[in-house]
Amino acid sequence: MTTDPSRRQRIEVLFDQCSDLPLPQRGRFLEVAVAGDIALRREVEALLASAERADSTGRLERIVAAAFDLPRAPLGKPRPGDRYELREKLGGGGMGTVYQANDRQAGGTVALKFLSESLAGDPVLKRRFQREAQAAAALDHVNIGAIHGVEETEDGRLFIVMPYYEGGTLKNLIAQGPLPVAEAVGCAAQVADGLAHAHAAGVIHRDIKPANLMFAADRSLKILDFGIAKIAGEKLTRTGLVLGTLAYMSPEQAAGGTLDHRTDLWALGVVLHEMLAGRPPFSAPSIELLFHAVRRGEPPKVRSLRPEVPTEVEAVVSRLLEKEPGRRYPDAASVAAALRA
């Protein structure tokens, strides 16, 4: 079976998203997500049916690789060579898996992000991984997670070498309750600074959320995981491919529309709202209703949930969460300036 790489990529993303949903919600999610593409829906449903019969370990890698005739390495830890000693798995996503490691040559702890085993044999996606890593590596800013380099394992898997940040994620901090107003505003300003730098280089993140924002030891905030970044002007993914986490997606991203830097400004507005109120502005009991809320619903005013928030801060949140991109701030630098005014 052979499939166009962009379509294969879309199938894998939809499969991964459906796998995270309760069974009763999957059908409604697919109905909205495939937008009438019956063949696409059937392919995703076939993979889901296979997944139910498969062992859960390495499920996505094995099923997708088999379905698309992709070569794959044996399951198990990657082999990054003598320089790096893997310690523990930190997490993973559609494009790769992250490990904490000891750098024997330079000394100290680093994080290594490996290209997924199921994708390692696909030359198109391998080049995409390299380009995205190179784009992110070129972003030298205090509020963007650094990339030390891109290397390759003995069996041909690419991996990114990054600093290991010990301060925890913003998601973990918010889980303890709403942040003090000054701290929330300061965090948002740091994210805006990092985004301004990335956008000036033509890089859109497209997945800004608390889990992708991590504190360094000095409490500076780092934007992580440009793994689904879209380099402006470069068609690395098919138009309409829905990526990212729905609660933080802009209306245009949820609709599968064309994106620019203002989609990141919307997501920053969602994050700032969550820091102040303790929850995102949009929630719903089903994926379909959440799609509708993001695209059509009005977010609650922050001061209705937390009256001590200054009106000036509420105004920043409201402008970031404008449905029409043209009504948001023109750029991230303007957001940072408004937050520091």
Task: Write down the residue that tokens 């059937």 correspond to.
Answer: 42
Mean predicted confidence (pLDDT) in 46-62:
54
Does 181 map to a domain? Answer: yes
Closest CA to 332 of 237, 260, 224: 260
- Note whether 205 and 320 are same-domain residues: yes
Element (H, E) at 268: helix 262-277
What is the C-alpha separation between 178 and 280, in angstroms, rounded?
A: 11
Q: Sorting pLDDT into bands at 50, 70 and 90, what band is 65? A: very low
122, 193, 207, 225: the catalytic one is 207
Domain assignment present for 72: no
pLDDT for residue 335 is more than 80 = yes
Residues 333 and 222 in one domain: yes
Count CB neighbours of 63 within 10 A. Answer: 21
Specify the long-range contacts of residues 35-42, CB closer than 8 Å, at least 24 apart.
35/240, 35/256, 40/7, 40/10, 40/11, 40/14
Mean pLDDT of 327-341: 97
- Residue 12 gets the label, from left (phi > 0), alpha (psi -120 to 50) or beta, of alpha
Task: Give the pLDDT confidence score for residue 266 in this predicted structure.
Answer: 98
Check whether residue 192 and residue 281 sit in a common domain: yes
Q: What is the pLDDT of residue 67?
A: 43
Res. 73: pLDDT tops 60: no
Say yes or no: 119 and 209 in one domain. Answer: no
- Asked whether residue 212 falls in the same domain as residue 305, the answer is yes
pLDDT tens digits, residue range 121-173? 667 667 777 777 777 888 999 999 988 888 888 877 888 898 999 888 899 89
Q: Judge whether residue 227 has pLDDT over 60.
A: no
Lowest mean pLDDT among 94-103, 166-175, 297-306: 94-103
Q: Higher model confidence: residue 128 or residue 280?
A: 280
Please determine, for residue 328, whether its predicted confidence score (pLDDT) is greater than 70. yes
Q: How many domains does the chain contain in total?
A: 3
Domain with 321 in it: 170-340
Question: What pLDDT score does 20 carry?
Answer: 60
Residue at 126 is within a domain: yes
150 and 188 share one domain? no
Predicted local confidence at residue 62, as pLDDT: 41
Tens digit of each residue's pLDDT (9 = 90 or more) over 171-223: 989 999 999 999 999 999 999 999 999 999 988 988 899 988 999 999 999 99
pTM over the 0.75 mark: no
In the prediction, which pLDDT does 89 show?
Answer: 85
Tokens coding 318: 């409201």
- Give residue 232's pLDDT band: very low, low, confident or very high (50, 70, 90): very low
Q: Answer yes or no: is 57 within a domain.
A: yes
Q: How far from 104 is each of 86, 146, 214, 280, CA to CA, in Å?
A: 11, 19, 25, 42
- Tell me what pLDDT residue 2 has: 47
Shared domain for 157 and 177, answered yes or no, is no
Percent of the chain residues topping a pLDDT of 90: 40
pLDDT-based confidence at residue 271 (cuts at 50, 70, 90) = very high
Task: Look over the chain and give the mean of its residue pLDDT values, rounded to a whole number.
Answer: 81
Rounded to an integer, what is the distance from CA 26 to the centroid of its chain?
21
Q: Inform me whether the pLDDT recorded for 50 exceeds 50.
A: yes
- Which of the residue ranges 11-20, 29-38, 69-78, 241-250 would you say has the lowest mean pLDDT? 69-78
Active site residue 207: yes
pLDDT for residue 93:
58
The reply to whether 42 falls in a domain is yes
